[in-house]
Amino acid sequence: AQTVTQSQPEMSVQEAETVTLSCTYDTSESDYYLFWYKQPPSRQMILVIRQEAYKQQNATENRFSVNFQKAAKSFSLKISDSQLGDAAMYFCATYPQGTYKYIFGTGTRLKVLA
Amino acid sequence: DAGITQSPRYKITETGRQVTLMCHQTWSHSYMFWYRQDLGHGLRLIYYSAAADITDKGEVPDGYVVSRSKTENFPLTLESATRSQTSVYFCASGSPETQYFGPGTRLLVL
């Protein structure tokens, strides 16, 4: 079975500091995608970053970057220069190619302290 | 406006009643998805559709029915609502690799 584990229910970071959210996953598929989604209080799910498993280079999107360790099945999200607007729930997810099914983790609530 | 919309945004119903949640997208995406979000479970896939008239079950399909007569619409029906179906429901469209989510419908079953 495909699983995604986020072991940190809640994290806090000072404004302008850097924080890393952890995610591990388990899949038997060789081809898959990994995602981080942000869910602010509005509940809208917003795609933060996407990583294709066959690519060794870590994906980056402005202040957001990932550390993708394929052998360890680890996919952490680093947020640099944290801003108050980054406060949200963050969900890690995987999509094994050809299954049409996203598997989500249970989320990490990020608090940003002014 | 282009995008993906859901209606209603909030719904209160009673056990045993039929409820239909609507999802509409203007991008002409082939794929559409329904998820439910519960505390402690993240999002779980209920049903998905690869194209008009093609639907398939996800992780938690029991108690739900879907249809897709038009590419842009993907309604989700709870045929006889139960308290365990109290949840936030998200519709998404796109490709399997990239999904765009609607704003969600909060459903309370009394």
B59 interface with A at CB cutoff 8 Å = yes
Copy the structure tokens of residue A59: 């994906």
Give the separation between CA B97 and CA B105, rounded to whole angstroms: 23
> pLDDT tens for residues A63-90?
999 999 999 999 999 999 999 999 999 9
Q: How far does the CA of residue A77 sit from the closest CA of chain B (Å)? A: 17
What is the model's pLDDT at position B1?
58
> pLDDT tens for residues B53-97?
999 999 899 999 999 999 999 999 999 999 999 999 999 999 878
Q: How far does the CA of residue B16 sit from the closest CA of chain A (Å)? A: 27
Q: In sequence order, what are the residues at sequence separation of 6 or more whose Cβ sits closer than 8 angstroms to the Cβ of residue B62?
A: none
B31 interface with A at CB cutoff 8 Å = yes
> pLDDT tens for residues B9-67?
999 999 999 999 999 999 989 999 999 999 877 899 999 999 999 999 998 999 999 99
